[in-house]
Amino acid sequence: MLNDASLGLMLAGIPAGLMISMPFAGYVTNRVKMRSLLIAAALSYSILLICLGYASAAWQVSVVLFLFGVSRTFYNVSVNTCSIVLQQQYKRSIVNSFHGIWSLAALLGALLSMILIGWDVSMESHFLMVSIFSVTVVMVFNGFIPETGKGQPKKKLFSAANKGLLQLGFIAAGSMFCEGMMSDWSGIYFSKVGGVTGQFYVLGYASYLTTMVLGRFLGDWFLGKYGEMKMVKASTILLGIGFLVAVVFPYPILIVVGFLLVGLGVSCFVPMIFLLASKNAEVPIGTAVSSVSLLGYTGFLIGPPIIGYLSETFGLQAAFFSSIVVALLVGMVALRFNQNQVKS
């Protein structure tokens, strides 16, 4: 039986794989056809899931989780790049809907897992069924994946000419800091600070997740009407107000209201940032998406442990105040961002 420290070390395999492989994603995406990379990453995901189900030792699980992180890096970069390429073929915005479908699939996956666990299905059979389904989806729909071809970067990724990409990366990091924090701590906050007991503690996270999914499906309409930067600024305001309400008024109903606003604020940040990054005239789409992803995932990974440390030192309510500071910093960068910095 693993203790908490050993379990935490083992689970660190995924973020370690993500962070180590992310700097190489841009290099690979400019030398491999995006469609081929996406299919390979998706199939690797499925094979690794089967391996995870049959892993019998802690070191085997750690290795598989590390490779999972690597596969996720190339899958995320390639699928987001393909979504941007597909977006360019449409006059109306569709990119937010892709992220909405991802969020909906995450909800359905969690529901399926709950059902299979309730039916006492073994982990090996559980993972095998999911893997077979995933491979089937790839085989059926791979012909519809847009091809991007190969390209070479014209300049170094983080040169002075690409200040706009750095700003977008910082905005993505701030957004994903809040997203990671909500994923790991919203239920605990609702229980400890809101004083909610029993199964109702999940309402905190559920309220956030519901508006995040809703915001992503509605985001394309708003994006088409108001444009990326107005949406980024509006999202920042919703994010800041949501956290402010949840921190200043620690009552269950108001915490729910705050988390609903946070979900709306977070929902469209990542697809909008990727869309803006793809317009960079100096860097190919795959490289731009991978560089912004690297900075964004840095925020996602450091958010939960920072909240844990602050909570241990100052209390959970005070720790959540840091999210308001992050929202303010993101807003300041968004106000200074010049969209012409990423355009030709």
> Are 134 and 229 contained in the same domain?
no
Residue that has been written with the tokens 């924090």 in this structure: 181
> Are 122 and 221 contained in the same domain?
no
pLDDT of residue 158: 44
> Are 136 and 187 contained in the same domain?
no
Question: Looking at the domain assignment, is residue 34 inside a domain?
Answer: yes
pLDDT of residue 8: 54
Question: Looking at the domain assignment, is residue 152 inside a domain?
Answer: no
Question: Looking at the domain assignment, is residue 257 inside a domain?
Answer: yes
> Are 87 and 181 contained in the same domain?
no
Question: Looking at the domain assignment, is residue 310 inside a domain?
Answer: yes
> Are 111 and 194 contained in the same domain?
no
pLDDT of residue 64: 92
Q: Which of 144, 177, 199 is the last residue of a domain?
A: 144
> Are 21 and 66 contained in the same domain?
yes
Chunked in runs of 10, what are the mean pLDDT values of the chain (344 residues)? 56 79 77 86 92 86 90 88 84 86 82 82 90 93 75 46 82 91 87 80 83 92 87 92 94 94 92 86 78 86 86 90 92 80 52
**Is residue 332 within 8 Å of 255, Cβ to Cβ?**
no
CATH at residue 109: 1.20.1250.20
> Are 240 and 284 contained in the same domain?
yes
> Are 129 and 185 contained in the same domain?
no
> Are 268 and 324 contained in the same domain?
yes
Provide the residue range defining the domain that includes 301.
160-342
Q: Which of 94, 120, 144 is the last residue of a domain?
A: 144
| CA atoms of 75 and 18, how far apart (whole Å) | 11
pLDDT of residue 242: 96
Compute φ and ψ for 281, nearest 5 degrees.
-80, -15
> Are 117 and 227 contained in the same domain?
no
Question: Looking at the domain assignment, is residue 153 inside a domain?
Answer: no
| CA atoms of 288 and 342, how far apart (whole Å) | 10
| CA atoms of 280 and 229, how far apart (whole Å) | 15
Question: Looking at the domain assignment, is residue 154 inside a domain?
Answer: no
Token output for 53: 């189900």
> Are 40 and 136 contained in the same domain?
yes
Taking the CA atoms of 132, 133, 137 and 138 in sequence, report the sign of the dihedral they define: negative
CA angle, residues 199, 201, 205, in degrees to nearest 5: 120
Question: Looking at the domain assignment, is residue 107 inside a domain?
Answer: yes
> Are 62 and 127 contained in the same domain?
yes
Domain count, the chain: 2
Question: Looking at the domain assignment, is residue 39 inside a domain?
Answer: yes
